[in-house]
Structure 1
């Protein structure tokens, strides 16, 4: 029987895969198990037991897992790229709309109204109009499982889209809309974009990818 430690909640359908006759589940955050299923917890400082065989991350990135040390100790690391790609794409545009159309500011302003609400709203609502996304230029850095969805949705919303990804796969390149302008020059994206969104793993190479010097 294999002992599995769950460091996060997982879907009920996934739990059904851990048959009781083969797996023992614990919610204790320990490495003295055969396998770990996790999401956001940073385990770089965790000491791994010799029993540990595999670590599975419920998500795409593995920056919170010491992959190199795991390789040295013979521990297999799994991830799930693309599993929540559509959800992340939708939330990306939620963020774009909320910031561009000043949604949060307008909600807070509305909460502060106490009297003559209708008249006050009519006089003050114009300060929260904000620019529409249609016709604006969206720069997408990283055209992987999430990035190519963001780029394509930007096109559907009437945006000019510039994509940059020096490591783009053939699979994702074929999924890109013909209307996405691909560039090999990151500075072109910085210069032309009204909005920039990043869909790349966080590591030493990408740390501080956006900074005061390039924007």
Structure 2
């Protein structure tokens, strides 16, 4: 029986994807085949010898020691796009809150709790409503930084609302380019986007290239009155630089899902408690996607939506044994594996080999289960990281 250890409160709809006949799923398992988690932070010391895979029910994996997992031959799965609609809707909320007097208006209305005369209250509200006059987003320009699953949805939404949309993504994939609405104007660099935009929405992972991407230097190019929305990751924005720009009147509002002490109780900051993906639908979608990916890997070795392993899919040939092998991406390892199988008169029925950066991964279907001595010989090859017989 395969064992999955869970952290955090995983959606029941995701957990129900694991068959009770084949899986034990619980929060207390000593020798798990897989972890399934949301925001729980793992360290390298938390990875038991039995662990074969990790599923993160969300997009970001900065709470997982990915490099250590790669070194161990453990694929880390995530759920890109599963929470995209939830984040998209919150971005819209943030834009509206930032340009209409909604927050202050609600606070003012609630401050009239001592009034008992409805006509007098209506008169007072009518007289004071000019204090909360805002502006519409129609006709304004939204800059979207990061044009993946969430960014493309945000761009499409803004176009439907009558906004102009410009986008910047230095690593735009072919798949994302196809998904992107044709009316989005691609910008060559971040400075050009910041100088053209009334709003900027960030949708990037945390990488060395994106850490503190919004900083004093990049903000120097910003259009005066810019409103920045960060529902991606705290580390993409240098908070001190944003506070400095707010104090100087360079930017008008900062709307963030990642409050820090210096952002609290500022009229020009709208802080939210990391609720970008906190909808029941998003949690269900993420859990279902990751559960299905873990099952496909544990039962067939297939890999989809891994942040550290290549996408690898091989239809299962009936009456075969599958070898799933992870190794360093260097020459001759695959040929050495195949030679060992051939020397043992084991026929290869089907196979696939993929690589990603420093890691290579193979699925090999053979007509006979290799003897333990053959498996041990494969494992002793220089560069082989791990081997699972499925």
Partner of residue 58, structure 2: 59
Are positions 1:197 and 2:196 aligned together? no
Are positions 1:206 and 2:206 aligned together? no
If the length of structure 2 is used for normalisation, what is the TM-score? 0.52
1:34 and 1:51 in contact (8 A); partners too: yes
Partner of residue 92, structure 2: 93
2:3 and 2:24 in contact (8 A); partners too: yes
Single out whichever of 97-106 and 50-59 deviates more from structure 2.
97-106
Are positions 1:10 and 2:10 aligned together? yes
Q: 1:212 to 1:120 in 2, by over 3 A?
A: farther
Single out whichever of 10-19 and 95-104 deviates more from structure 2.
10-19
2:100 and 2:134 in contact (8 A); partners too: yes
Structure 2 counterparts to residues 1-215 of structure 1, below 5 A: 1-28=1-28, 32-44=31-43, 46-113=45-112, 114-115=114-115, 116-215=120-219
Q: Once the two structures are superposed, what CA deviation does each residue of 1:144-174 show, in whole Å capped at 9, x if it has no partner?
A: 0010111111111111111001111222212
Q: CA deviation at 1:190?
A: 0.8
Q: CA deviation at 1:118?
A: 1.1
- What is the rounded CA distance, in whole Å, between the counterparts of 1:49 and 1:102 in structure 2? 52
- What is the rounded CA distance, in whole Å, between the counterparts of 2:174 and 2:203 in structure 1? 17
Structure 2: which 5+ runs fail to align?
A: 220-390
2:44 and 2:68 in contact (8 A); partners too: no
If the length of structure 1 is used for normalisation, what is the TM-score? 0.92
Q: 1:108 to 1:5 in 2, by over 3 A?
A: same
- What is the rounded CA distance, in whole Å, between the counterparts of 1:37 and 1:91 in structure 2? 26
Give the CA RMSD over aligned residues.
1.7
1:2 and 1:24 in contact (8 A); partners too: yes
- What is the rounded CA distance, in whole Å, between the counterparts of 1:49 and 1:172 in structure 2? 36
- What is the rounded CA distance, in whole Å, between the counterparts of 1:48 and 1:86 in structure 2? 32
Equivalent residue pairs, number: 214
Q: CA deviation at 1:206?
A: 1.2
Rg: which structure is higher?
2
Q: State the SS of the aligned residue for 1:146.
A: helix
Q: State the SS of the aligned residue for 1:87.
A: helix
- What is the rounded CA distance, in whole Å, between the counterparts of 2:30 and 2:104 in structure 1? 45
2:141 and 2:165 in contact (8 A); partners too: yes
2:143 and 2:201 in contact (8 A); partners too: yes
2:190 and 2:218 in contact (8 A); partners too: no
Q: 1:123 to 1:31 in 2, by over 3 A?
A: farther
Q: CA deviation at 1:201?
A: 0.4
- What is the rounded CA distance, in whole Å, between the counterparts of 2:211 and 2:95 in structure 1? 22
Q: Once the two structures are superposed, what CA deviation does each residue of 1:58-97 show, in whole Å capped at 9, x if it has no partner?
A: 1111111111100112222111111111121111111111
Q: CA deviation at 1:45?
A: 5.7
